[in-house]
Amino acid sequence: MSTTDTERAGHLKVLGLNDDEIEVYQHLLRTGPSSITELDDAVPDREHPIDSILSGLVQAGLARRSGSDHSRYLPVPPDAGLEALTLRRESELKQARIDVLNAYDEFRRTVHNESTTHLIEVVTGSAIVERIHQIKGGAQREILAIDSPPYYIGGPNQEEIDHLKRGVAYRVVYSPESVEVPGYLTENILPCVEAGEQARVLPDVPAKLTIIDGSIAYVSMSVRDTEVNRSLLIIRPSSLLTALIGMFELCWRNALPLHASVGTEDDRLEPIERRLLALLATGAADDTIARTLGISRRTFFRYLERLMNRTGASTRFQLALHAARENWL
């Protein structure tokens, strides 16, 4: 087959002809009208019977019968035959496009929608507490949390203390509102910190969030968005879960430590001074700090003045910088 024939064969294949039809059509173009016997002898190496090949060429509009007895075949002028074949091919491609689009729509209606529904679960009312216990109960490695009221579960957090004892790590970012809830610092936060929780505080948290083992999370609005426990979203592995993990890590990097690190104890600080500094770091109001520490407002200011004199700070911001530099927080 010449170079021209080879190039033409490629174009004809694009239009939908098979190799046998291309070979016979090329022979007709070279020799003109030919009988079935002549074509059968001229194109011996083929997969299909010559009758079937010629029928395909006639149907494609590239060949027609000729002679008084219609025993010979000749090629149809290309401007007519190829135009008909091109239009037919375009119609087939359009139909194929429609079929593919319909198949994708069917996919979205079945598999995709079911998958999306499975990835996000909405829990409301009394079922919230039960689902939280179910999810947290399966924790194996690490729980990440952004903590803010309102709370679904009140009282001491014995569940977290039990998790910490069996080796589950906790990293928690608290909102200032958490510290201001009466008794929450002393009954919930500090016992968990003493048990091994890593705690930090951020002046403004974006949401209430808990992530278990990086594989499932539940999220709801913070107290700044709602005063009532209305609903809980449970998120399973997805791009949304990845984004929530990234949001937590960003909050964690920007938060201040809420407790002293192991091995950095400063004997010059009394326990109440450490707690006062930690509360100052949360941004809690003076009255809240005094009430949490169980001291009067006057005593609070006396401790604060003594700390500022000791560090040479003239503002609370300077005091916070010194405390952070000396690892008092």
Report, as an integer, the average pLDDT of 218-231.
63
- For 128, 133, 143, 227, the CA distances from 152, given in Å and listed in that order, are 8, 11, 17, 12
Distance, CA of 132 to chain centre: 22
Answer whether 1-118 and 271-326 agree in fold.
yes
What is the residue-wise DSSP string for 311-324?
HT-SSHHHHHHHHH
Please report the pLDDT score of residue 142 as a whole number.
Answer: 96
Spatial neighbors of 144 by CB under 8 A, at least 6 apart, are: 170, 171, 172, 209, 210, 211, 245, 248, 252
Which tens digits make up the pLDDT trace of 141-197? 999 999 988 787 766 788 999 999 999 999 999 888 887 788 888 788 889 988 999
Question: To 10 degrees, what angle do helices 50-60 and 78-107 make?
Answer: 90
Q: Can you list the pairs that 238-244 forms with residues at least 24 positions away whose Cβ atoms lie under 8 Å?
A: 238/119, 238/120, 240/119, 240/120, 241/211, 241/215, 241/216, 241/217, 244/209, 244/211, 244/217, 244/219
Per-residue tokens: 66 = 């000729």
Please report the pLDDT score of residue 110 as a whole number.
Answer: 62
Which CATH number fits the domain 125-257, given the four candidates 3.30.830.10, 3.30.870.10, 3.30.360.10, 3.40.50.10490? 3.30.870.10
DSSP state at residue 77:
P
Please report the pLDDT score of residue 262 as a whole number.
Answer: 40
Give dist(CA 93, CA 259) in Å, integer.
Answer: 68
Q: What percent of the chain has pLDDT over 90?
A: 14
Which tens digits make up the pLDDT trace of 99-144? 666 665 665 566 555 555 567 888 887 788 888 888 888 899 999 9
Give dist(CA 156, CA 59) in Å, integer.
Answer: 84
Q: What is the CATH number of domain 1-118?
A: 1.10.10.10
The answer to whether 200 and 174 are in contact (CB under 8 A) is yes
Report, as an integer, the average pLDDT of 12-29.
80
Q: How many helices (H) and strands (E) does the chain have?
A: 16, 11
The model's confidence at residue 319, banded by pLDDT at 50, 70 and 90, is: confident
Per-residue tokens: 298 = 């006057």
Average pLDDT of the chain to the nearest whole number: 79
- Does the pLDDT value for residue 1 go beyond 80? no
**What is the CATH topology of the domain spanning 271-326?**
Arc Repressor Mutant, subunit A (1.10.10)
- For 93, 150, 211, 233, the CA distances from 179, given in Å and listed in that order, are 66, 12, 21, 25
User: Torsion angle, CA of 29/32/36/42, rounded to 10 degrees?
Assistant: -60
Please report the pLDDT score of residue 265 as a whole number.
Answer: 47
- Does the pLDDT value for residue 22 go beyond 60? yes
- Does the pLDDT value for residue 5 go beyond 90? no
Please report the pLDDT score of residue 195 as a whole number.
Answer: 92
Give dist(CA 170, CA 252) in Å, integer.
Answer: 12
Q: Can you list the pairs that 130-138 forms with residues at least 24 positions away whose Cβ atoms lie under 8 Å?
A: 131/218, 131/232, 131/234, 132/210, 132/218, 132/232, 133/159, 135/210, 135/212, 135/216, 135/218, 135/234, 136/163, 136/210, 136/212, 138/212, 138/213
- Does the pLDDT value for residue 82 go beyond 80? no
Give dist(CA 164, CA 192) in Å, integer.
Answer: 8
Give dist(CA 66, CA 251) in Å, integer.
Answer: 84
Q: With CA atoms as reference, report the closest residue to 15 among 48, 62, 55.
A: 62
Give dist(CA 45, CA 1) in Å, integer.
Answer: 13
Please report the pLDDT score of residue 260 as a whole number.
Answer: 42
Report, as an integer, the average pLDDT of 52-81.
78
Give dist(CA 134, CA 128) in Å, integer.
Answer: 10
Domain range list for the chain: 1-118, 125-257, 271-326
- Other C-beta atoms closer than 10 Å to the C-beta of 279 total 24
Give dist(CA 65, CA 44) in Å, integer.
Answer: 21
Which tens digits make up the pLDDT trace of 254-301? 887 775 444 444 456 788 888 888 788 777 788 888 888 889 989 999
